C-alpha cells in the first residue's frame, strides 16, 4: 500500500513546535563562539592551550605549532573573490588539477538471501583513478566478494542455533573497501616510483578517519573498523601519498568543545553546537579553510595503531582536521588527514603536502559542484540496486541447480516473488 500521506501530515502538524525548536539557531551562542574563535590566536599560544586542557581526557582538539604563527583560525582563499559563475570555478579547478591523479574507493552490498534456505550475501567495492590528462584518462575497476553462511550468521548466546545478522555484511564491506583502497594506493606509489606519474597523487576516503561511529559496537566489531582505518592511514604515510577523509556537511564539535573548556566562565553552562555553525559566517563564500587542528575527540583515535609492511604506526596525536567551504553544499565540509601531510614539504609552489592536498580537494569539489567528482564517480560505479539483487538471486539459483545444491525458497518469499511477476 502507498504511504498514508494524511497520517504523515497529521503527525507533522502535531509535532510542529518540537521540530521548530530543534531547527531554531540560538544566534546568541553562535555570535559568542564566533567572537571567542576570533580572539583565540591573540589571547592564547598553543602551549598555553595544551597546558589548560591537560586535565581533560578528550578536550575536543589541540592546536598545532602553526597556531602561533597565525592571527586567525580562518585561512582565506582570495583567488575565488572575483569568480561570478561556475564556469570560472571549473576553469580554475582544471588548471590546478591538470595531470594530478586522484583516487577514491566506494562500496555497496546485497543483504543475505533470507528468501533461500541458504543465507548468502555479496559486497563489492569500486575504485577510480582520474589522471586529469588533457586527452582524458580514467582508470576504473570493481571487485566483489561473496559472503558465505558462516560470514553472515552468528551463534546464539546459548549456542543452540545460528541466526542471520545483516549487520555483518556492513562490517565485511568496510574491510573490503579498506583493503581495495590500500591495494590501489600501493599501485599508485609503484607507478610514481617508476616514473609513470609525474605529480603526487591524492587519495580521497569517503567518510571520517576518526571511527567514533564504531564506539557503540561490540569490542570485537569496533576493532575491525579501527584496524581497517589504521592500515589505510599507515599505508598513506608509508607510501607518502596524501590521504584525506572527506565528510560532507560536518556536524563535528571539536573546536567548540575546546573553546568551551578554555573559557569555562563564558560557556560553561551553554550547550555544545557544531563547529560549522560558528565558522560559516566567518568564511568567504568559496574556498576558505580553517587552520589544521589535532583531533582529541575520543578514544577511537587512541586506538589507531597497526603494523604495516613490517613497520609500527600509531596515530594517537596524529589525526588532524580542518574545515572547507565549497558551496553549494549545505554547511561546511570537514577534511581529516594524517599529520605527516603538515610535516612534509609540498611540491613546487606549496609549503607543505597539506597545502597541496587542500588545493587538490578544492579543485575536485569545484569540478563536482560542491562535492569531489572522484567520490561521485566511485559511488556511481559501486552502487548495487534492486535489479542487481534479482540478478544475484538468479545466479545463485543457476549455481545451485548445476551443482546439485538443495536450494529452496522460503514459502513467504516465494509467494511475494510470484505475485510480483
- Report d(CA 376, CA 382) in Å as an integer: 10
Check pLDDT > 50 for residue 69. yes
Check pLDDT > 90 for residue 85. no
Greater model confidence, 114 or 112: 112
Greater model confidence, 135 or 20: 135
Q: How far is CA 96 from CA 139, 233, 240, 292, 314, in A?
A: 20, 25, 21, 22, 33
Per-residue pLDDT at 417:
44
Matching residue, cell 545483516: 166
Per-residue pLDDT at 415:
42
Check pLDDT > 90 for residue 2. no
Greater model confidence, 281 or 413: 281
How large is the greatest C-alpha to C-alpha distance in the chain, in angstroms?
76
Per-residue pLDDT at 28:
86
Per-residue pLDDT at 83:
84
Tell me the pLDDT band of 268, cut-offs 50, 70 and 90: confident
Angle between helix axes 16-23 and 5-14 (nearest 10 degrees) is 60
Tell me the pLDDT band of 366, cut-offs 50, 70 and 90: very high
Residue-range domain boundaries for the chain: 24-384
Per-residue pLDDT at 216:
93
Greater model confidence, 10 or 353: 353
Q: How far is CA 341 from CA 54, 82, 110, 336, in A?
A: 25, 30, 36, 11
Per-residue pLDDT at 26:
56
Asked, as a colleague might, if the bond just before 328 is cis with ω within 30 of 0, I would say: yes
Check pLDDT > 80 for residue 320. yes
Check pLDDT > 80 for residue 4. no
Per-residue pLDDT at 14:
81
Judge contact between 299 and 214, C-beta under 8 A.
Answer: no
Q: How far is CA 271 from CA 29, 64, 166, 251, in A?
A: 8, 26, 36, 14
Check pLDDT > 60 for residue 211. yes
Nearest CA-CA partner of 226 in 238, 239, 215: 215
Tell me the pLDDT band of 413, cut-offs 50, 70 and 90: very low
Greater model confidence, 62 or 156: 62
Grid cell listed for 313: 604506526
Residue 164, CB-side half-sphere exposure with 13 Å CA sphere: 16
Q: What is the mean pLDDT of residues 369-383?
A: 95
Comparing 85-94, 136-145, 200-209, 371-380, the range with the smallest average pLDDT is 85-94
Mean pLDDT for the chain overall:
91
Q: How far is CA 5 from CA 9, 12, 16, 202, in A?
A: 6, 11, 16, 46
Encode pLDDT of 11-64 as tens digits: 878 888 776 665 565 558 999 999 999 999 999 999 999 999 999 999 999 999
All residues at 6 or more sequence positions from 289 whose CB lies less than 8 Å from its CB, including other chains: 74, 75, 77, 322, 323, 324, 325, 335, 358
Q: What is the mean pLDDT of residues 141-157?
A: 91
Q: What is the mean pLDDT of residues 343-353?
A: 95
Q: What is the mean pLDDT of residues 93-107?
A: 96
Tell me the pLDDT band of 312, cut-offs 50, 70 and 90: very high
Residue 303 burial (CB count, 10 A):
20
Amino acid at each position: 500500500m502507498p504511504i498514508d500521506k494524511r497520517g504523515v501530515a497529521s503527525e507533522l502538524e502535531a509535532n510542529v513546535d518540537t521540530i521548530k525548536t530543534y531547527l531554531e539557531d540560538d544566534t546568541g551562542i553562535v555570535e559568542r563562539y564566533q567572537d571567542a574563535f576570533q580572539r583565540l590566536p591573540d589571547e592564547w599560544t598553543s602551549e598555553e592551550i595544551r597546558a589548560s586542557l591537560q586535565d581533560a581526557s578528550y578536550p575536543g582538539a589541540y592546536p598545532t605549532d602553526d597556531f602561533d604563527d597565525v592571527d586567525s583560525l580562518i585561512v582565506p582563499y582570495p583567488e575565488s573573490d572575483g569568480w561570478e559563475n561556475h564556469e570560472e570555478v571549473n576553469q580554475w579547478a582544471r588548471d590546478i588539477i591538470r595531470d594530478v591523479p586522484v583516487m577514491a574507493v566506494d562500496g555497496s552490498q546485497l543483504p543475505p538471501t533470507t528468501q533461500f534456505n541458504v543465507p548468502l550475501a555479496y559486497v563489492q567495492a569500486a575504485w577510480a583513478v582520474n589522471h586529469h590528462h588533457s586527452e582524458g584518462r580514467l582508470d576504473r575497476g570493481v571487485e566483489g566478494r561473496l559472503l558465505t553462511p558462516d560470514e553472515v550468521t552468528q551463534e546464539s548466546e546459548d549456542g543452540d542455533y545460528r541466526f542471520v545478522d545483516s549487520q555483518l555484511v556492513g562490517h565485511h564491506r568496510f574491510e573490503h573497501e579498506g583493503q581495495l583502497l590500500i591495494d590501489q594506493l600501493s599501485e599508485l606509489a609503484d607507478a610514481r616510483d617508476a616514473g609513470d606519474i609525474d605529480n603526487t597523487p591524492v587519495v580521497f576516503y569517503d567518510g571520517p578517519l576518526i571511527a567514533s561511529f564504531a564506539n557503540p559496537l561490540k569490542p570485537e566489531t569496533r576493532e575491525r573498523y579501527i584496524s581497517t582505518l589504521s592500515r589505510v592511514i599507515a599505508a598513506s604515510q608509508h607510501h607518502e601519498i596524501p590521504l584525506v577523509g572527506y565528510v560532507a556537511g560536518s556536524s563535528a564539535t571539536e573546536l567548540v568543545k575546546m573553546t568551551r573548556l578554555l573559557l569555562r566562565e563564558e560557556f560553561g553552562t551553554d550547550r555544545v553546537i557544531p563547529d560549522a555553525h560558528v565558522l560559516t559566517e566567518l568564511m568567504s563564500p568559496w574556498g576558505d579553510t580553517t587552520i589544521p587542528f589535532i583531533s582529541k575527540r575520543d578514544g577511537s583515535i587512541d586506538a589507531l595503531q597497526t603494523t604495516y609492511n613490517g613497520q609500527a604506526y600509531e596515530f594517537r596525536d596524529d589525526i588532524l582536521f580542518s574545515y572547507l567551504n565549497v558551496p553549494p553544499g549545505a554547511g561546511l565540509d570537514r577534511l581529516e588527514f594524517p599529520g605527516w601531510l603538515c610535516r612534509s614539504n609540498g611540491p613546487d609552489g606549496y609549503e607543505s603536502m597539506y597545502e597541496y592536498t587542500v588545493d587538490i580537494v578544492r579543485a575536485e569539489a569545484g569540478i563536482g559542484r560542491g562535492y569531489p567528482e572522484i567520490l561521485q564517480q566511485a559511488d556511481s560505479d559501486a552502487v548495487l540496486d534492486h535489479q542487481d539483487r534479482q540478478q544475484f538471486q538468479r545466479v545463485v539459483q543457476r549455481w545451485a541447480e548445476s551443482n546439485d545444491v538443495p536450494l529452496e525458497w522460503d514459502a513467504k518469499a516465494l509467494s511475494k516473488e510470484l505475485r510480483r511477476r
